[in-house]
Amino acid sequence: MATVTPISKRMQIRWNTGLDENFDPIYSMRSWSNIKHAATNEQILQLGQYFGQLCEHTLSAIRLIETNELE
């Protein structure tokens, strides 16, 4: 059976900053790395929502990117 070893967690927030000339959305992203492995998904979501409120643009997505090693 495979063993999973957590390597890293990264939170990425995406904001909708407007529209281009073809009326397609323009996004701005920011990432925070080295998120503690003990942080729950709920805690990361709350943090992302808090950071999202600090910006004048509309929050579009909060992503959690996890890297694991399989052995």
pLDDT at 50 (0 to 100) = 94
The full set of domain ranges for the chain reads 4-70
Residue range 23-47, pLDDT digits in tens: 999 999 999 999 998 999 999 999 9
Q: Return d(Cα 60, Cα 40) in angstroms, integer.
A: 21
- Strand order in 58-70's β-sheet? 25-33, 4-19, 58-70
Average pLDDT, the chain: 94
Percent of the chain residues past pLDDT 70, beyond the cut = 100
Give whole-number Cα distances, 51 to 8, 14, 23, 58, in Å.
20, 11, 26, 11
Give the Cβ contact number of residue 45 at 10 Å: 13
| pLDDT, position 3 | 95
Identify the pLDDT of residue 8: 94
